[in-house]
Structure 1
Amino acid sequence: MTVALMWEARAVEGRGDELLAWVEKQDLPGRPLRREVLRAPQDRVLVITWWDAAYDAELPELPDPDGELVTRTVHRWRFESVGVS
């Protein structure tokens, strides 16, 4: 089974590049099948990692950045893959 973990944070206005650089420096214990980093308006950064694991498996996740870098708590979601097209 493939599980996708999504991590999304919103930087303090004007600090989106700093948040992106912070994310890119973060190492995970273990190697996902794939890791993709995306950004969006309003200084938001999204990271999706794909793992070959059961849905409820204990998987490494990115930590929360320093509270002075983000405007709110990090949002996290977990999804199970149902197919690729």
Structure 2
Amino acid sequence: MTVALMWEAKAAPDRAAELLAWCRAHPLAPAPPRRETYAAPGGRVLVLTWWDAPLDAEVPELPDPPAELTARPVHRWRFEQVPED
């Protein structure tokens, strides 16, 4: 079973580059089989990780960044892969 974790934060004004650098500097241990980082207009940063685990498994997640880097609390979602019919 594969679970995907989405971690999304919105940077404080003029802090997008710092927030992105903070995310990229935080490895997860153990490392996920797959990790991707995205940036979007408005200072949003998205980190996706994929794990070979059930939906309720305990897997490492990025912590909250320093409050001064963000405009609002971090959003987190957890998804379970659905087999194709």
After TM superposition, the score normalised by the length of structure 1 is 0.94
Q: Is 1:60 aligned to 2:55, yes or no? A: no
Runs of 4+ residues over 4 Å off in structure 1: none
Equivalents in 2 of 1:31, 1:24: separation in Å? 13
Q: Which residue of 2 aligns with 1:32?
A: 32
Equivalents in 2 of 1:83, 1:27: separation in Å? 29
Structure 1 residues 63 and 41: alpha-carbon distance in aligned structure 2, compared to 1, 3 A threshold:
same
Q: Which residue of 2 aligns with 1:11?
A: 11
The runs of 5 or more residues in structure 1 that have no matched partner are none
Equivalents in 1 of 2:9, 2:27: separation in Å? 17
Matched to 1:16, the amino acid is A
The runs of 5 or more residues in structure 2 that have no matched partner are none
Equivalents in 2 of 1:62, 1:75: separation in Å? 11
Q: Is 1:2 aligned to 2:2, yes or no? A: yes
Identity of aligned residues (%): 62
Matched to 2:9, the amino acid is A
After TM superposition, the score normalised by the length of structure 2 is 0.94
Matched to 1:65, the amino acid is P
Equivalents in 2 of 1:83, 1:39: separation in Å? 29
